[in-house]
Amino acid sequence: MGAWLKHSRFLEDSFWAPAERLGYYVLLPALFLHGLATAELDHVPVQAMILVLVLSTVMVAVLMLGARRLIKGNDASFTSVFQGGIRFNNYVGVSVVAGLFGAQGVALAAVANAAIVPTVNILCVLVFARFGTGGRMSTSKVAKQLALNPLVLACFGGILIQTTGAGLPVAVEPVIKALGQASLPLGLLCVGAALELSSMRSWLRPVAYSSVAKFLIMPLITLGACHVFGLGGKAAIAALLFQALPTASSSYIMARQLGGDASLMAGIIAIQTLLAAVALPVAVMVLVPWL
């Protein structure tokens, strides 16, 4: 739909850049803030689940950084491969886990978001600071990027509200929720508008690397971490599911705003989303019996 809207000129080219900024600075932060602030975490092994998810995410990030020279391409393209390997589509994750486990699934999804969302956003900001088109940043500039990043701020704001029990103001909560719900459709439209099918051949290697990291290495490391930290049952299945999800549409907006290869990122998002229809069920069928 996004590709049609752009190439048919139904929407002017000048529409897309402000739409991306709206998503990055307003809608996505609202999504993360609301999701983390309103989560119901009773009867969930929070500590073990967070340890499993954070450790597996960091380990895959380190492996991808170590293998960077094997991924032919410039630094900006590596940022897209990196995001494709560690970011996840939390809409799909919440829907799948809630569908499987009901109300407890929603709570498990909330813990997964609380663990992974801040972790991946911090890691991605650091990678953009080193490999983005803006050039290598000093330590002070990296610290400033992290401190002012709207996604990181929203994550920690949501966690603070959750842990203190303060809750979102009644008058504000539905507004923040509605803004967050608007982030997915707008993000997907922006991804579609950025797709350049003529570049697909050059995407094959980076798409393959990011997809192997996302659909194979990440679930396997998560499985091992579940055994190390004694996480089992529904919580372990939820952790495995979240770490086998395709990358998020927000990856494109982050690539556009922080100096990544936005066109490649759009391609990775589109192809991983298609691959997930096969990869996610296979990962569950093969790995869940080993939990």
Domain ranges (residues) in the chain: 21-189+199-290
Residue 131's contacts (CB-CB under 8 Å, 6 or more residues apart) are 75, 76, 78, 79, 82
User: Whole-angstrom Cα distance, residue 56 to residue 223?
Assistant: 9
Q: Which pLDDT does position 276 carry in this prediction?
A: 87
Contact yes or no for 41/107 (Cβ under 8 A): yes
The pair of three-digit structure tokens given for residue 121, joined into one six-digit string: 């956003």
Contact yes or no for 190/38 (Cβ under 8 A): no
The predicted-structure confidence for 117-175, as pLDDT tens digits, reads as follows 889 988 998 899 888 876 666 677 777 777 788 877 887 888 899 889 888 999 999 99
CATH of 21-189+199-290, one of 1.20.5, 1.20.1530, 1.20.1440, 1.10.3470: 1.20.1530
DSSP symbol at 246: P
Q: Which pLDDT does position 159 carry in this prediction?
A: 82
Of residues 115, 99, 128, the one with CA closest to residue 234: 99
Which uninterrupted H or E stretch holds 127?
A: helix 90-131
Grade residue 202 by pLDDT with cuts at 50, 70 and 90: low
pTM assigned to the model = 0.80
User: Whole-angstrom Cα distance, residue 130 to residue 125?
Assistant: 9
Report, as an integer, the average pLDDT of 50-66.
96
Question: Lowest-pLDDT range, 168-172, 189-193, 217-221, 240-244?
Answer: 189-193
User: Whole-angstrom Cα distance, residue 3 to residue 188?
Assistant: 10
Of residues 29, 16, 123, the one with CA closest to residue 79: 123
CA angle 142, 119, 248 (to 5 degrees): 100
The sign of the CA dihedral 163, 166, 169, 174 is positive
**At residue 270, does pLDDT exceed 90?**
no
DSSP symbol at 259: T
**At residue 58, does pLDDT exceed 90?**
yes
* Percent of the chain's residues with pLDDT above 90: 31
